Amino acid sequence: MLAKKSKDSKDSKDSKDLKDLKDLKRKSIEVGGRIGILGGGQLGRMLALAARQMGYRISFLDPSSDAPCSSVADKKIVANYDDIASVLKLGSRSDILTYEFENIDVNSVIALEEAGHQVYPSSYVLKTTQHRILEKEFVRSIGIKTVPFYPIYTPIDLEKASEEVGFPTLLKTAYGGYDGKGQVKIINLEQAQQVFNSLNHRTLIWEKVINFTKELGIICVRDQLGQIVTYPVTENIHVDNILDTTIVPARISDNVADKATEIARKIAQQLNIVGVFCVEMFLLENNEILVNEIAPRPHNSGHYTIDACVSSQFEQQLRAICGLPLGSPKMLTNSAVMVNILGDHKGDRFFGTTEILANDNVCLHLYGKKKAKPKRKMGHFTVLSDSVDTALSIAEETRKKLCWLESKYRRKVK
Ligand code: ADP
Ligand code: MG
């Protein structure tokens, strides 16, 4: 059944589109070309690794001097995302640019575009998807459902939202949140007013708390010619609002999987996006799907594609932005389970590698971050297996072997 789904995903390249391709020219960046990335976190690092594999050269810009991309890229610029002069310097070193983090200053992308640089996805896509209100308004405008929400600009909006959407609610900053940061659960108006005041009346979004049965995700890629490739629908389990586990394929009916895929395709077309993106969705008991958010970049829930698919989400990103033919999303295994490895308060030295790798179903990825701060994404592992149940039970066994210890131990053994 999985093989059929994967084939369908590949077949979703519309045959008419394929015929038209012969007549159209892509703007392609040849192998050896220079890719510029705004952001050098783990997503930038994995993108850079894929770029190296394909013979491209990488420069990136990140505010941190030891960003995970540092050890993989050819050149780095340490600067803030709103430092336009540095952003343009990155532009001058690049044949094509992208970003790995949606909370960068959109004016930087606009400045690059105005200086004649090609950035994918475009500033329009970034602007729409980095702002929770614009994002949800866009999704609704194309006939796709979102959670009930109310934009909060003034104290009066809080009262209106409490009447229209009600409680319990999640108050989220409209801009700048990620991994559950910038959101708080509220049960009464007084509490909402306190939060709004404590954030100096920053624009917020008031979202109804949804009682979903599952969270779903789908990685999708669209190229410069409008071709779209979708990966299988994933089931995403969050702990404390941070992704913990991704299960592929999601344990849902074909009908729900088709609906989710159709939503992603429609968003791809209507947003006119070029590049990889992820749609996060809530599945309700009545099988209705609500879109939660759109991430205009490779996504944590797509890390399984590195080990489980013919072309990873990172390779697809390069193919899309460099004007190469899109790759196959086909899975090479029946099922995969990805588990995030987060830091805790115990130390910065990772233990357990030997035990984890003793199981040949497990692929381990560590991002080279020096400090394993609590809840920081330090790495992930992916279990490949014939069945989701087996993959899940191996994942649970593997999870028990992860361990962070004091870093002074590392200094001693050096
Ligand atoms: P982030 O940008 O931090 O990923 P999200 O809006 O995706 O922000 O929220 C993170 C997680 O919090 C979601 O994956 C989901 O588990 C939970 N969550 C967010 N919004 C809602 C909601 N309206 N109802 C229920 N759970 C939610
Ligand atoms: Mg999210």
Q: Residue 241: CB within 6 Å of ligand 1?
A: yes
Q: Which residue has its alpha carbon closest to ligand 1 atom 14?
A: 241
For residue 45, what pLDDT is reported? 98
**Whether residue 259 is found in the same domain as residue 363:** yes
> Looking at the domain assignment, is residue 187 inside a domain?
yes
Sequence-ordered list of residues with C-beta below 8 angstroms from that of 252, at least 6 positions apart, any chain: 214, 216, 233, 235, 260, 283
For residue 26, what pLDDT is reported? 65
Q: Residue 210: CB within 6 Å of ligand 1?
A: yes
> Looking at the domain assignment, is residue 194 inside a domain?
yes
Q: How far is the CA of 75 from the centre of ligand 1 (A)?
A: 35
> Looking at the domain assignment, is residue 142 inside a domain?
no
**Whether residue 192 is found in the same domain as residue 172:** yes
User: What is the spatial distance between Cα 68 and Cα 70, in angstroms, rounded to a whole number?
Assistant: 5
Closest ligand to residue 282's CA = 1
> Looking at the domain assignment, is residue 165 inside a domain?
yes
Alpha helices, DSSP H, located in 105-253: 106-114, 123-129, 132-141, 155-164, 189-198
Q: Which residue has its alpha carbon closest to ligand 1 atom 12?
A: 241
> Looking at the domain assignment, is residue 382 inside a domain?
yes
**Whether residue 160 is found in the same domain as residue 197:** yes
**Whether residue 219 is found in the same domain as residue 176:** no
Residues less than 5 Å from ion ligand 2, measured at CB:
280
**Whether residue 197 is found in the same domain as residue 161:** yes
Cα-flanking dihedrals φ and ψ of residue 46, to 5°? -70, -30
User: What is the spatial distance between Cα 230 and Cα 107, in angstroms, rounded to a whole number?
Assistant: 30
Model confidence pTM above 0.75: yes
Instruction: For 300-376, list the strands marked E by DSSP.
Output: 335-342, 349-351, 362-366
> Looking at the domain assignment, is residue 127 inside a domain?
no
Give, as one character, the DSSP assignment of residue 233: P
Q: Residue 102: CB within 6 Å of ligand 1?
A: no
**Whether residue 201 is found in the same domain as residue 224:** no
Q: Residue 179: CB within 6 Å of ligand 1?
A: yes
Q: Which residue has its alpha carbon closest to ligand 1 atom 21?
A: 209
How many independent structural domains does the chain possess? 3
**Whether residue 316 is found in the same domain as residue 387:** yes
Cα-flanking dihedrals φ and ψ of residue 272, to 5°? 55, 40
**Whether residue 193 is found in the same domain as residue 220:** no
> Looking at the domain assignment, is residue 140 inside a domain?
no
Question: Under a CB-based contact definition with an 8 Å cutoff, are residues 171 and 195 in contact?
Answer: yes
* Domain-ending residue, one of 162, 189, 208: 208
> pLDDT 10s per residue in the chain (414 long)?
333 334 344 444 443 444 444 445 567 999 899 999 999 999 999 999 999 999 999 999 999 999 999 999 999 999 999 999 999 999 999 999 999 999 999 999 999 999 999 999 999 999 999 999 999 999 999 999 999 999 999 999 999 999 999 999 999 999 998 888 899 999 999 999 999 999 999 999 999 999 999 999 999 999 999 999 999 999 999 999 999 999 999 999 999 999 999 999 999 999 999 999 999 999 999 999 999 999 999 999 999 999 999 999 999 999 999 999 999 999 999 999 999 999 998 899 998 899 999 999 999 999 999 999 999 999 999 999 999 999 999 999 999 999 899 866 554 443
For residue 351, what pLDDT is reported? 87
Domain that holds residue 229: 214-405
For the chain, give the mean pLDDT: 93
CATH code for the domain in which residue 236 is found: 3.30.470.20
Q: Which atom of ligand 1 is nearest to the CA of 280?
A: 7
Q: Which amino acid, 174? A: A
Q: How far is the CA of 180 from the centre of ligand 1 (A)?
A: 7
pLDDT digits (tens, 9 = 90+) for 231-286: 999 999 999 999 999 999 999 999 999 999 999 999 999 999 999 999 999 999 99
CATH code for the domain in which residue 97 is found: 3.40.50.20
Q: Quick one: tokens of 244?
A: 């913990």
* Domain-ending residue, one of 190, 208, 226: 208
* Domain-ending residue, one of 187, 208, 229: 208
For residue 35, what pLDDT is reported? 98
> Looking at the domain assignment, is residue 1 inside a domain?
no
Strand partners, 183: 172
Cα–chain center distance at 399: 22
Dump the DSSP string for 22-43.
TT-----PPTT-EEEEE--SHH
